[in-house]
Amino acid sequence: MDEITYGALRPNDVESFVRVVEAALHFSPGDMRKWMRITGPQGYRVVRQHDQVLAGLGIIEMGQWFGGARVPVAGITAVGVAPEHRGTGIGSRLMCTMLQEIHEKGIPLSVLYPATLPFYRRIGYERAGVQLTYELPLQMIDLRDTTLEMQPAEDDAAIQDMYELYDQRAYYFAGHLDRPQWMWQLKLEPGDQPTHKYLIVRDSTPEGYVIFTQSRRDQPIRILDMGITTQNAGKRLLTFFSGYRSMVESMTWRGGPRDPLLYLLADNLIAGMRPKHTIQRAYDWMLRIVDVVGALSTRGYPAELQAELHLEIRDNLLPANNGRFMLEVNDGYAQVSPGGQGHIYMHVRDLAALYTGYVNPLELRVSGSLSGSDSNLALLGLLFVGPQPWMSDMF
Structural domain contains residue 389: no
Calpha distance 336→294 (Å, rounded): 8
| 277 and 296 assigned to the same domain | no
Say whether both 142 and 255 belong to one domain: yes
Rounded Cα–Cα distance for residues 289 and 16 (Å): 31
For 23-66, list the strands marked E by DSSP: 44-49, 52-66
Please, what is the end-to-end C-alpha distance for the chain in angstroms? 30
- The reported pLDDT for the residue numbered 1 is 55
- Asked whether the beta carbons of 244 and 221 are under 8 A apart, the reply is yes
Distance CA 31, CA 25 (A): 11
Which are the contacts of 361, defined by CB distance < 8 A and separation ≥ 6?
Answer: 354, 370, 372, 377, 378, 380, 381
**Residue 256 maps to a domain:** yes
What integer best gives the mean pLDDT of the chain?
95
- 79/119 Cα distance (integer angstroms): 12
Q: What is the pLDDT of residue 202?
A: 97
Q: How far apart are CA 267 and CA 110, in angstroms?
A: 39
Domain at 16, CATH number? 3.40.630.30
Question: Is 391 contained in some domain?
Answer: no
Q: Is residue 17 part of a domain?
A: yes
Task: Determine, yes or no, domain membership for 390.
Answer: no
- Mean pLDDT for 50-54 is 91
- For residues 211 and 148, state if they share a domain: yes
Residue 138 sits in the same domain as residue 247? yes
Same domain for 215 and 187, yes or no, is yes
Which residue in 103, 57, 102 sits closest to 77, CA to CA?
57
How high is the pLDDT of residue 279?
95
Residue 279 shares a structural domain with residue 301: no
Q: Point out the domain boundary residue: 252, 284, 316.
A: 284
337, HSE (Cβ side, Cα atoms, 13 Å): 7
Do 94 and 154 belong together in one domain? Answer: no
The residue among 124, 152, 168 that closes a domain is 124
Q: Are 96 and 237 in contact (CB under 8 A)?
A: no
* Judgement on whether residues 22 and 84 belong to the same structural domain of the protein: yes
- Our count of domains for the chain comes to 3
pLDDT number for residue 51 = 85
360/217 same-domain check? no
Let me know if residue 248 belongs to a domain: yes
91 and 154 belong to one structural domain: no
**pLDDT digits over 210-268, tens only?**
999 999 889 999 999 999 999 999 999 999 999 999 999 999 999 999 999 999 998 88
Q: Is the pLDDT of residue 2 over 80?
A: no
Q: What is the CATH number of the domain that holds 323?
A: 3.30.1050.10
**Which neighbouring-strand residues pair with 131?**
283
Count the alpha carbons within 13 Å of 306 in the hemisphere toward its beta carbon.
1
Q: Within a domain: residue 208?
A: yes
Tell me the Ramachandran region of residue 204: left when phi exceeds 0, alpha when psi lies from -120 to 50, beta otherwise: left
pLDDT in tens, 4-32: 999 999 999 999 999 999 999 999 999 99
If asked whether residues 176 and 255 sit together in one domain, one would say yes
User: In sequence order, what are the residues at sequence separation of 6 or more whose Cβ sits closer than 8 angstroms to the Cβ of residue 171?
Assistant: 65, 68
Tell me, yes or no, whether 394 lies in a domain.
no
Q: How many CB atoms lie within 10 A of CB 316?
A: 12
Structural domain boundaries, residue 73 = 4-124
On whether both 204 and 168 belong to a single domain, the answer is yes
Among 124, 154, 172, the domain-final residue is 124
